[in-house]
Amino acid sequence: MNPLVSVIIPCYNEKDFISSAVRSAYSQTYNNKEIIVVDDGSDAGTKNVLNNLKDSIDHLITQKNSGVVSARNNGIKRAKGQYILTLDSDDWFEEEFLEKAVQILKNNPKVGMVSCWTAVRNSEDKITRISKPTGGSAFNALFRNNAPASLLFRKSCWEDVGGYDENLNKGYEDWEFNVAVGKFGWQVYIIPEILFNYRNVALSRNKFARDFYDEIRLYTFKKHKDLIIENFDPTIELLLGEIEKLKKENKKIKNSAGKRLGDLILRPLKKIRSKFS
């Protein structure tokens, strides 16, 4: 028998999008699943939409507003599935994702998490770019998030690390989770197909998280400094490579047509200033 998959969908004031997220979970061609929605203190409009979706939801958990990390952890605590599929309430999977991803977990005992290429969409649902994460090991994840937040993983992975870190409620908890899971030896497998759709809308949580990017990175690097020490040489090589890239980008900016035009405009003003200085 195919293992049970628990689909966890945290929801906070997403009345315009939660229906498509639930439908994408319900419509998966993989049948042995339960859908758990965690209402994180949503407004009346969202609660009304969730009530209309009750035939498609197996369990609706209601909590006071505590943030997406708490909501996701609470949903997983209630999950009966051997595998967990996380899905944000404004995104959706293509209907064959679960069927393909479950087979990968079943056939690869060293793989703990499975995701895929992502279509990044704007507020009009138009694709603006395709994201192709790298997958791989904990070290792969440490400097570049190697999978989207919505992915399939073994519940034992979540148990290994004690769940998502609720100190990271400002964002990027999925990145830290991938690093932590990888430290237990689990690999991330990326299906080279566009099977996930991410809405990059004006008020998305990731845009809010960028305001705290340095703070979150520092916290995560300190928490996993043992991984940096264990991989000291490749870490230095990677950082030097990033510095070299920045130097090249800076050189391009300096040599750009806009920069040359600006210098041409400013040159007579500099001469005038020098006469009066």
pLDDT, tens digit, 9 for 90 and up, residues 140-149: 888 777 888 9
According to the model, what pLDDT value does residue 255 have?
A: 65
Q: With bands split at pLDDT 50, 70 and 90, how would you rate the model's confidence at 223? A: very high
Return the H-helix or E-strand segment holding 241: helix 232-254
According to the model, what pLDDT value does residue 185 have?
A: 93
Q: Which two tokens stand for residue 65?
A: 């507003």
**Residue pair 93/30 in contact by the 8 Å Cβ criterion:** no
Q: Is pLDDT above 80 for 256?
A: no
- Return the exposure string of 225-238: e unless at least 16 CB atoms fall within 10 Å of the residue's CB, then b: eebbeebeeebeee
The model's pLDDT over 59-100, given as tens digits with 9 standing for 90+, comes to 999 999 999 999 999 999 999 999 999 999 999 999 999 999
Q: Is pLDDT above 60 for 135?
A: yes
The model's pLDDT over 17-37, given as tens digits with 9 standing for 90+, comes to 999 999 999 999 999 999 999
Which of 23-37, 106-120, 160-174, 203-217 shows the lowest mean pLDDT across its residues?
Answer: 203-217
Render 160-205 in DSSP notation, one character per residue: HHTSS-GGGTTS-HHHHHHHHHHTTT-EEEEEEEEEEEEE--TT-H
> Quick one: which of 145, 150, 35, 29 has its CA closest to 86?
150
Render 118-129 in DSSP notation, one character per residue: EEEE-TT--EEE
According to the model, what pLDDT value does residue 102 have?
A: 98
According to the model, what pLDDT value does residue 143 have?
A: 79
According to the model, what pLDDT value does residue 164 have?
A: 97
Q: How far apart are CA 51 and CA 218, in angstroms?
A: 41
Please compute Rg for the chain using Cα positions. 22
Residue where the block lists tokens 């290429």: 117
The model's pLDDT over 171-199, given as tens digits with 9 standing for 90+, comes to 889 999 999 999 999 999 999 999 999 99
Return the H-helix or E-strand segment holding 116: strand 111-121
Q: How far apart are CA 51 and CA 171, in angstroms?
A: 28
**Residue pair 25/87 in contact by the 8 Å Cβ criterion:** yes
Q: What angle do CA 151, 156, 160 make, to 5 degrees?
A: 105
Mean of pLDDT over the chain: 87
